[in-house]
Structure 1
Amino acid sequence: MIAPELEKVLGVPVTVTNITGGSGWIGYDSLMNSAPDGQTIGMISATGLVAGYVDPGTGRTNTYRDFAPVVNFASDYQVICVRPDETRFKTFKELYEYSKENEVLIAGVAGTGSDGMVVGKLNSLEGANFVHMGTNGASESLTNLYGKHVDACVIDISETTAPAKAGQVKILAVAADKRVPQDPNIPTIKEEVGVSLVNFSARGIMTPAGVPEDTMKILRDAFMKVFQNEELKKTLAAQGIVVELMDWQAYEKYLQTLEDEYKVIGPKYFGWELK
């Protein structure tokens, strides 16, 4: 859906190639090793990118600095969901208080990406005891919630559009700095417990490092224009994704912040032994 709009702005064909595996790093390696001529760009999940090298177990030496940021176009905030018939806790504050006395099993995508990071941050709340049950994706997390195999689940808000509409989940809180347009009735975690807890799946565009600045300017200007297209915004919104632009400088600053967060959360909650 993005490629056709980019073709209109740049006036050249855009070919999409999906490269999966390695928590995104097979694609990132391909992008990083491509010619720095502006002809190859890639969509990046910031958490997968940064966790994939801060984690010493991966043995990677490349970092986000081996790429050049173009734009981050969406911040898909994580939400905490429970079953609609849940009686032990009806608000996130009640869930948090419950976790001080009881182990809370929370489903989320396995590993150290966005969901794992949220669980780590939840456990940074004083006295909290959240245990991450890793899954292979949002649908599996929701299935475990429906089947009462877990107490709660953490997923991207874009993944809640259908189940929330069908009344299959109750969203207790969003890990955002303010209420989100997808559902302004959802309180933030800070509103509930007085502590700021922000986490999202950053959806961005990058090139390999070393692309000439004049070419980077063309790409950056083009993508800023693409994501201001109202029809594209509506299409993305229908999928639960609200366009929230970071220009390349803000995106770069965010990547540094995320790297710093992983260096704190990793040793505490993922058992990483950083040098």
Structure 2
Amino acid sequence: MTEFFRRGLLGAGATLLAAPALVRDAMAQPRWPARPVQMICPWAAGGGTDAVVRIIASLLEKDLGQPFNVVNRTGGSGVVGHAAIASANPDGHTLGMITAEICMLHWQGLTELTYRNYTPLGLMNNDPPGIQVNASAPYQNVGQLAEAIKASRPGQFKASGTGQGGIWHLALAGWLLALGLPAGHVRWVPSNGAAPAMQDLVAGGLDFTTNSVVEARAMLDAGRARSLAVMSGERLGAFPNIPTLKEAMGIDYSSGAWRGIAAPLNIPAAARTAMNAALDRVFKSQDYIDFMNARGFGLLYADSAGFGRHLEQADTSLGDAMKAAGLART
């Protein structure tokens, strides 16, 4: 037997001996998801964030073969739910939907949480705000409402749509600044989301709201509220009769709220890889597109890396805007 042949046999034997170990190692890799996944929503049931996270959860369930259960964790202007996502067991079985507020809350001093406390998985949606009034309000257009606000004393008008310093609050502040008024001229009434704000509006507790038109749709369709304008560069496809601020008032001002799926830091690579691929499939699915278009939700997607870049940019731009509006404390 030649030395070359002998070494070849030894090498083959070592490989055969190692094969069972390699198989065991492969089989030991945990399958993800291995059990039901909890999806945390930081805002109230019935609002826009709740609707978007629920359609995503239902489609992920079909795609990945495990239940994706949505749990609403509200309170603290969004801090409670966002904190629950960040502090969850990083095994990949607790995820959640983070919203634009995560790039705002720390500027207000409400939490130390920032976008850096999450593993971004996918940006799934962006919506501009509208200006809604009670159906019995005397304002037939947004210009009339603006004139009434200008003629009012500070704090006389009340508005809502989300928590103190939230994205819809910032949308109001930006509009007031564009009107030449102080950002705090209208009193902001904090709420745990758009749904309770719209209920307060139709009950007579508010003068107007600045949440998205989608979130106001139930009250609009019921004839209990009217949307006077949308803070967007163009009219919304699902609401073509609502003018933009630029059309109605000549004010070139726009804003928006985005939503994306994220996880705690240091989740398993298998979970991150699987979710990236699954969210891409969800976003491109006809079920998701039809759901979002039927309800007027804006379609905007970015993968894990793109969502991470978006978060960094949003944190800077929203922080600058809040400082300009006097809403930042840090």
Superposition TM-score, scaled by structure 1 size: 0.81
Which of 65, 69, 73 is matched with 1:16 structurally?
A: 69
Q: Is 2:157 the counterpart of 1:105?
A: yes
- Amino acid in structure 1 at the alignment position of 2:81: G
Report sequence identity in percent: 24
Match in the other structure for 2:141? 91
Match in the other structure for 2:188? 133
CA distance in 2, matches of 1:119, 1:157: 14
CA distance in 2, matches of 1:142, 1:215: 37
Q: Is 2:69 the counterpart of 1:53?
A: no
User: How do residues 1-275 of structure 1 correspond to structure 2 at under 5 angstroms?
Assistant: 1-10=55-64, 12-16=65-69, 18=71, 20=73, 21-34=75-88, 36=90, 38-47=92-101, 49-56=102-109, 58-60=110-112, 62-87=113-138, 89-103=139-153, 105-108=157-160, 109-128=162-181, 130-136=185-191, 137-211=193-267, 216-269=272-325, 271-274=327-330
How many residues were matched structurally?
Answer: 269
- Amino acid in structure 2 at the alignment position of 1:32: A
CA distance in 2, matches of 1:178, 1:166: 25
CA distance in 2, matches of 1:142, 1:54: 26
Secondary structure (helix, strand or coil) at the match of 1:263 reads helix
- Amino acid in structure 1 at the alignment position of 2:119: A
Structure 2 residue runs without a partner (length 5+): 1-54
Question: How far did residue 249 of structure 1 move?
Answer: 4.3
Question: How far did residue 262 of structure 1 move?
Answer: 3.6
- Amino acid in structure 2 at the alignment position of 1:241: F
Question: How far did residue 22 of structure 1 move?
Answer: 3.5
CA RMSD of aligned residues (A): 3.0
Higher relative contact order (CA 8 A, sep 6+): 1
Secondary structure (helix, strand or coil) at the match of 1:244 reads strand
Secondary structure (helix, strand or coil) at the match of 2:178 reads coil
Superposition TM-score, scaled by structure 2 size: 0.69
| Greater shift in the superposed pair: 12-21 or 158-167 | 12-21
Deviations 1:214-242 (A, max 9, x none): 75343222101112222233345555534
Structure 1 residue runs without a partner (length 5+): none
